[in-house]
Structure 1
């Protein structure tokens, strides 16, 4: 349950989650308000039609009084006109309906002094007993009753009760819980679709930024979507291009410096050969050789972080077995112990150089190396293990720092301390992560972790 709440909180904290929440509340609120407005309009229309029927009946009775007032009065008093009856005089004490009065005045004329009011059923039908006269009838089935008072064309005051057939408004299901739940569910589904569609360019940008964080040679992002998103993607692609050009310019500068240093270093080597003191000559030549190795390793480090090699789908087992065979041909104790049968998208030469550097480092400090690979979840992990003394836990991350060397029984007397730094830089060129761990059975193991494509 805690994990579910944690994932829900993470989703709400994301841009997509906030869009879903805002859209769901907004769409549901707009739908409910629209339904309430429609319900209000429905009730208003029912009441308007009802009043129109009262006005029509009253106008008809007024025209009858204008043609034959005596006969109309007798018919009305004897209840022989359907829908109209003579009204008691005491009803005029009730509060009139101003809206209906204006409608009657507009039809009968301003001099008509028309007033009307809706009467309760008990006042209109005081002697009606629904339990005795009609089975199943109640007060809601009685006609609507209106008291109307006006003056005819002759100035005589006329009072009557207008009875209309029951005109009941059907009950509304607008606020039914099931109906509201369907509105919220539909709003949530639509909001999730809209949020996913709206954040798709941002997810591409996030993936590209993550890929750019592990390699300086990512593929450009397709620049499509809304105008603001296209501008952001275009800006990100420009940034990637400038960073790549900066790395390439740095590599070219270092390559030029290393190339230019070769000539004076060669001349210096020739001149050192002429030193008469043999002991001094050997020391100077050894220092010069160390300087040349340092220059070569620095150039290799610069080149390792910038690779224009194309991506390819390769068999990992074949690369590992090839590296092991090449090292064994030179007498090194290197074995390919287990494969994983996986094929993935990498830069083959960069992967080969990365594994070779790890093998060379293992041979230097431990005298042997074992290569293997395996699947851990959705990651492919390549392992290079030795049987040496390992490293202190605090030094596992420090080992990747440039010029960092650890002394031990088999530590070589030469080297620049750039081997692991170069290996990690090469791993980054194809989006892999390199880490060091002490093996539980002794020795050091390097893991190259990369996504399976």
Structure 2
């Protein structure tokens, strides 16, 4: 049953409203059908003019022959007058001719059935509807009557009007209630979802909704309190790391100066290398906090130019890094942060693959994508998600004294991608190597897409 229900709350409310109205109408319709007179019985009864004609014919047939003209004359007067005339006995019956109303109007059969046995009712030829209908009735005791009735009306079963009115009311109710449910009930949820999605990606996130049902307001207040706590936590983390960096740089600098006076060159080199690594660790941690935070810039960035700049920088220091398939691809964000993300991806490829190829990959509609390819050992599938977390390194056997870094390069690139509304995807290549794909929102559709 759950698979049949819509996933959105607006669809579920609509289904609930439709089901409720259908059930209510069925509960009202069934007793109506059970208690009302049979429709076919109603259809077999003549209308008001036919009923008057049947009653007059019976009265005239029961009266003596000499009083019949007086009854016909009386019937032609008054509010409910009937156009009725007695026919002479010597008037021959009309020759059979095709009926002007194909098929025969139901009123003729109804009057014939109401008069009963011993009566003959035929419709005289004349103009087709909506002209009046003339009838010739022959009854017992040489009774011959000619009558004119109003034009045959289009009769439909009484049930049709009820069905049409019910369906019209049902359709109107569904339309109005669905619009109200979608706008009044789901709009606050949509604003709440948008505000929650914007938190962490925008420097000035949208305010949380303060209207809607009580449940939405409770969720909005809880989310607001959580957002305030997370903001304070991020600020405290940034201030703490900034304070650590400031406090560590001074003793590191003093130790570096003192190490320069050591006479043992081997010991001096080891101490200076350790100090340089400590300084790099502090810089990497601060970079992760700074670049992984909310975007503060929304300028247009040409990724092709950015890729070329990064590749030229690595090539200038002798690294095997080259750019391919460059074409204009615009996104919006911080050029400095995006450049750092590309530098981290290329640096990771150089460390583990001895080189890199950077190109603008075919992207989906509304996206631009940069991929960094290397010929390294790749990353096992079970470790790829962990590699995007800070201080996680692919080669666990290495120590901080090696060249593997601190496990922040991919984490920083991943944080920058998410801060720009994109994502970082890691895939192994065949037969070996790693493909790091940086997907970002496009400002305009890319000239080449896939």
TM over 0.5: yes
Do residues 22 (structure 1) and 22 (structure 2) align? no
Distance 1:194 1:318, change over 3 A: farther
The equivalent of 1:381 in structure 2 is: 369
Contact in 2 for aligned 1:432/1:449 (Cα 8 Å): yes
User: Which of residues 372, 378, 391 in structure 2 aligns to 1:390?
Assistant: 378
Do residues 350 (structure 1) and 337 (structure 2) align? yes
Residues of 2 paired with 1:203 and 1:377: CA distance? 24
Contact in 1 for aligned 2:303/2:331 (Cα 8 Å): yes
Distance 1:38 1:391, change over 3 A: closer
Deviation per CA, 1:36-94: give whole Å up to 9, x if none.
9999xx99xxxxxxxxxxxxxxxxxxxxxxxxxxxxxxxxxxx9999xxxxxxxxxxxx
Do residues 220 (structure 1) and 203 (structure 2) align? no
Matches within 5 A, 1:120-199: 129=116, 132=119, 134-135=121-122, 171-173=158-160, 175-176=162-163, 180-197=166-183, 198-199=185-186
Q: Which moved more, 1:314-323 or 1:247-256?
A: 314-323
Deviation per CA, 1:20-45: give whole Å up to 9, x if none.
11222345566788999999xx99xx
TM-align CA RMSD? 4.4
Contact in 1 for aligned 2:342/2:413 (Cα 8 Å): yes
Residues of 2 paired with 1:285 and 1:271: CA distance? 10
Residues of 1 paired with 2:31 and 2:393: CA distance? 78
Distance 1:360 1:230, change over 3 A: same
Deviation for aligned residue 1:359 = 1.1
Q: Which runs of 5+ in 1 are unaligned?
A: 44-78, 83-126, 137-167
Deviation for aligned residue 1:310 = 2.1
What TM-score, normalized by structure 1, do the two folds share? Answer: 0.62
The equivalent of 1:123 in structure 2 is: none
Deviation for aligned residue 1:266 = 1.1
Distance 1:387 1:275, change over 3 A: same
The equivalent of 2:357 in structure 1 is: 370
The equivalent of 1:440 in structure 2 is: 430
Residues of 1 paired with 2:211 and 2:117: CA distance? 70
Deviation per CA, 1:187-226: give whole Å up to 9, x if none.
44434433332312312322333444x7374621474754
Contact in 2 for aligned 1:317/1:341 (Cα 8 Å): yes
Contact in 1 for aligned 2:384/2:426 (Cα 8 Å): yes
Contact in 1 for aligned 2:395/2:404 (Cα 8 Å): no
Contact in 2 for aligned 1:435/1:448 (Cα 8 Å): yes
Deviation for aligned residue 1:436 = 1.1
Distance 1:399 1:10, change over 3 A: farther
Deviation for aligned residue 1:134 = 4.8
Deviation for aligned residue 1:395 = 3.0
Distance 1:207 1:131, change over 3 A: farther
Deviation for aligned residue 1:184 = 4.2
Deviation for aligned residue 1:417 = 2.4
User: Which of residues 252, 273, 281 in structure 2 aligns to 1:286?
Assistant: 273
SS in 1 for 2:158: coil
Deviation per CA, 1:306-351: give whole Å up to 9, x if none.
2452223333323222322333333332222124543333333222
Residues of 1 paired with 2:203 and 2:307: CA distance? 24
Contact in 2 for aligned 1:368/1:387 (Cα 8 Å): yes
Residues of 1 paired with 2:280 and 2:213: CA distance? 52
Do residues 262 (structure 1) and 249 (structure 2) align? yes
The equivalent of 1:90 in structure 2 is: none
Residues of 2 paired with 1:331 and 1:409: CA distance? 28
Contact in 2 for aligned 1:316/1:342 (Cα 8 Å): yes
Contact in 1 for aligned 2:349/2:374 (Cα 8 Å): yes
Contact in 2 for aligned 1:323/1:355 (Cα 8 Å): yes
Residues of 2 paired with 1:348 and 1:234: CA distance? 35
Q: Which moved more, 1:371-380 or 1:183-192?
A: 183-192
Distance 1:263 1:31, change over 3 A: same
Residues of 1 paired with 2:322 and 2:4: CA distance? 46
SS in 2 for 1:423: helix
Contact in 1 for aligned 2:417/2:439 (Cα 8 Å): no
Do residues 418 (structure 1) and 405 (structure 2) align? no
SS in 2 for 1:22: helix
Contact in 1 for aligned 2:208/2:224 (Cα 8 Å): no
Distance 1:16 1:446, change over 3 A: same
More helix by percentage: 1
Contact in 2 for aligned 1:311/1:347 (Cα 8 Å): yes
Distance 1:423 1:276, change over 3 A: same
How many residues end up aligned between the 2 structures?
A: 340
Matches within 5 A, 1:290-329: 290-329=277-316
SS in 1 for 2:406: coil
Deviation for aligned residue 1:437 = 0.8
Do residues 271 (structure 1) and 261 (structure 2) align? no
Deviation for aligned residue 1:179 = 5.4
Contact in 1 for aligned 2:378/2:434 (Cα 8 Å): yes
